[in-house]
Amino acid sequence: QVQLVESGGGVVQPGRSLRLSCAASGFTFSSYGMHWVRQAPGKGLEWVALISYDGSDKYYADSVRGRFTISRDNSKNTLFLQMNGLRGEDTAVYYCAKEEIAYDLSGALDYWAQGTLVTVSS
């Protein structure tokens, strides 16, 4: 069955960096686009970034463009989110999520990880 397991969250000071990982199993990872979506405490969902199945296309929300970088290692079935210049408003639970349709760039998200909490605080 599809499994997405995140790691890398934690407490970090403003201005510092953090890298999130999302290990995938149960499907052909290299065939699916992947997303990061975040949720600030007590708030709604906010889309963060998208990467195509082969890593050739990447898109970002305005709020993170230039600070965050999405990437993937298809040989290790792993998705990453490199977060630099972190701010208080980046405090949130971060989810990785899988595109439903293979080779699709933007569609429904059919499986989500359990989420990892990132807290930006001095």
Partner 1 sequence: EVVLTQSPDFQSVTPREKVTITCRASQSIGNSLHWYQQKRDQSPKLIIKYASQSFSGVPSRFSGSGSGTDFTLTINSLEPEDAATYYCHQSGSLPGLTFGGGTKVEIK
Q: Which residues bind partner 1 (CB under 8 A)?
A: 35, 37, 44-47, 50, 59-62, 95, 97, 100, 105-110, 112-115
103: left (phi over 0), alpha (psi -120 to 50) or beta: left
**Least Å distance between CB 61 and partner 1?**
7
Q: Token pair of 28, please?
A: 């052909």
- The two beta strands, 45-51 and 34-39, are antiparallel
Look up residue 63 and give its DSSP letter: T
Q: At closest approach, how far in Å is the CB of 59 from partner 1?
A: 4
Closer Cβ to partner 1, 16 or 43, answer by number: 43
Q: Compare residues 35 and 72 and give the one whose CB is closer to partner 1.
A: 35
Instruction: State in angstroms the smallest separation of the CB of 76 from partner 1.
Output: 23
Q: Are 49 and 58 in contact (CB under 8 A)?
A: yes
